[in-house]
Amino acid sequence: MKSQNSFVKLAAALIASVSLFSLSSSFATAADKQANPYGLIQPNELRVASLGDAKPYTFTDASGNFTGFDVEFFTDVAKRIGINKVVFIGQDFAGILPSVANGRYDVGVAAIGITPARSKTVDFSDGYLAGYLTVLTRKDSGVTDVNSLAKHRMAVVQGTLQENYAVQHFTQTDLVRFPDNNAAISALNNGTVDADFLDYEAAKDYAARFNLIHAADIPSFDAPAGFAIAKDKPEFKAALNKAIQASMQDGTWKKLYEKWFPGSPMPKQYLPKSS
C-alpha cells in the first residue's frame, strides 16, 4: 500500500513538473514571437545576401556601400515592416539561395527570378521586377543575334536563369561559366569570350560604359524577381508582401524604377492601381 501511495505521489509530481515546464516553454515561445515575430537571425536587423557587381540592381559604390534599385526598394520595404537596420553582404550568385535556405541570411535580394525549381529550396515574396535577359557582345565579335551565337564562346554567371536558358536553347554555343558579373564582363572586353548573357539593365549599363551592344533581349516575364527567404516563415513572407504592395501603391516603387532604370518600359502590374 505504502509503495503504491508514493508511486502516485511521484507520478503526480512528475505530471505537475512536466506541465509546468511545457507552460513555461509555451510562454517563452510566445515571448520570442513578440520580440522576433519574423524569426530573424537578430530581431531588429535584416541580414541580406546580395551582389556587389550587378549595377543598377545591386552594387557597391566607390565607398563600398551597397546601392541600386533592389537595395533601395528592399530597404524601403524593410522600413515598412519596422526594421531600419539592413545589412547587405556580397556573395557569388550561386551561393545566395543555399545560404538563405540554411539560415545564414534572412533574405536574398539580387534580381532573383522566381521559378518553380528555385521554389523547392526557398520561398519568394511577390514579384517586383519583370524584364529581359540580354546577350551582350562586342561590335567586332561576329555575334549579331541569337542565330549567330553558334560556335562562339559566351559567358554566363553560374546558377543564373541565363545559364539555364543557354544550356537549353543555345546548344551550339560554348558556355564559359563565371562566378560573378565582373569576371564575365572582363572576359568579354578582353576577347576571351564573344558574348555575355546577363540581366537587361546590367547589360545596358555595361553597354554604355564599354561601348558594347545588345545582340538579343529575351523576355523573362515568367520569372519576375522576388525576395528569397527560408521556407516556413509565413509571417515574414506576409509582412514583406504587404510592404511591397504598399510601396507599389504609394508610388515609391515607381519613383525608384524611374531613378535606376530611366527610359525602360514599366511593368503596369507594379504601378499604383489609380494610375
Tell me how far apart the 2 most distant CA atoms of the chain are, in Å: 100
The two beta strands, 45-50 and 85-90, are parallel
Least distance between ligand SNW and beta carbon 197 (Å): 10
Smallest distance, Å, CB 47 to ligand SNW?
18
Q: Report whether 100 contacts 190 (CB < 8 A).
A: no
Q: Does 161 participate in binding ligand SNW (rule CB under 6 A)? A: yes
Q: Does position 129 bind ligand SNW by CB under 6 A?
A: yes
Tell me, letter by letter, the H, E, C secondary structure of 53-99: EECCCEEECCCCCEECHHHHHHHHHHHHCCCCEEEEEECCHHHHHHH
Closest by Cα among 98, 82, 96, 91 to 40: 82
91 contributes a contact to ligand SNW by CB under 6 A: no
And the C-alpha cell for 258? 524611374
- Applying CB under 6 A, which of residues 130, 207, 213, 271 lies at the interface with ligand SNW? 130
* Segment lying near ligand SNW (by CB under 6 A), choices 3-11, 19-27, 36-44, 217-225: 217-225
111 binds ligand SNW (CB under 6 A): yes
Decide whether 38 or 110 has the Cβ nearer to ligand SNW. Answer: 110
Q: Which of 125, 134, 160, 173 lies at the binding interface for ligand SNW (CB under 6 A)?
A: 160
Relative to beta strand 58-60, strand 66-67 is: antiparallel
* Phi, psi torsion values for 256, nearest 5 degrees: -70, -40
Interface with ligand SNW includes 220 (CB under 6 A)? yes
224 binds ligand SNW (CB under 6 A): yes
Q: Which residues bind ligand SNW (CB under 6 A)?
A: 51, 54, 57, 93, 110-113, 129-131, 157, 160-161, 199-200, 220-221, 223-225
